[in-house]
């Protein structure tokens, strides 16, 4: 594989990952309409989550291996991650899980805030480097999604009731939301000097 093909494949994996969100919603909400047994539904969802995480890992590996880390890729890759995870968490506000919508807005506000800060600073020629807390945040959110989907399995088998499923899901996603807020605050604090310079009105 040459570098150009590797770049196209990495870009294709990133864009293809965006399809996971709507597919996740369709399977979660309308599995019965497609003749899928309830016990099979969480396994399909787990498969979609695995595909999403593996594509995220592979596109980054390909870009780095062939030295094809582009500005477009730097924007699209985290954007795809955010869109997919937001779609999954918003999906959990419906159906079996019934997470509070307000809780999911915590994730959305953090992503919008940090993305806006990075974009504004980039337009001013200041690049805000990614933080380790942001990578940990992504892992925590991914694990939360995996665990919530995993909890549907004992529910489908009758091992836990719906209330237990919803309570544990709320607890798990709330923990992820708390860390999401912490990572956003840490990111803002570390880059505060650059942010202040960017928002300062230039003197005439």
Tens digit of pLDDT for each residue in 116-166? 777 776 666 665 666 777 789 989 999 999 999 999 999 999 999 999 999
The rounded distance, in Å, linking the Cα atoms of 81 and 145 is 13
What is the reported pLDDT for 110?
A: 87
pTM listed for this prediction: 0.85
Parse the chain into domains and list their residue ranges: 3-198
Average per-residue pLDDT for the chain: 84
Chain centroid to Cα 157, Å, comes to: 28
* Whether 17 contacts 80, CB under 8 Å: yes
Local structure of residue 158 (DSSP, 8 states): T
What is the reported pLDDT for 11?
A: 73
CATH class label, 3-198: mainly alpha
180 phi and psi angles, rounded to 5 deg? -60, -45
What is the reported pLDDT for 150?
A: 97
What is the reported pLDDT for 58?
A: 78
What is the reported pLDDT for 122?
A: 65
What is the reported pLDDT for 187?
A: 79
């Amino acid at each position: 594989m040459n570098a150009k093909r590797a770049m196209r494949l990495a870009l294709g994996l990133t864009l293809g990952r965006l399809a996971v969100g709507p597919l996740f919603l369709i399977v979660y909400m309308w599995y019965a309409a497609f003749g899928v047994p309830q016990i099979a539904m969480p396994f399909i969802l787990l498969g979609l989550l695995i595909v999403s995480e593996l594509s995220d890992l592979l596109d980054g590996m390909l870009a780095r291996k062939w030295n094809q880390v582009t500005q477009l890729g730097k924007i699209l890759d985290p954007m795809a991650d955010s869109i997919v995870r937001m779609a999954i968490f918003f999906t959990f506000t419906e159906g079996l899980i019934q997470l509070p919508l307000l809780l999911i807005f915590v994730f959305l506000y953090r992503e919008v805030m940090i993305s806006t800060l990075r974009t504004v600073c980039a337009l001013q020629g200041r690049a805000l480097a990614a933080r380790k807390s942001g990578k940990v945040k992504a892992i925590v959110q991914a694990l939360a999604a995996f665990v919530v989907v995993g909890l549907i399995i004992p529910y489908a088998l009758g091992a836990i009731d719906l209330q237990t499923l919803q309570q544990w899901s709320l607890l798990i996603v709330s923990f992820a939301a708390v860390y999401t807020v912490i990572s956003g605050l840490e990111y803002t604090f570390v880059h505060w000097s650059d942010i202040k310079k960017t928002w300062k009105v230039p003197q005439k």
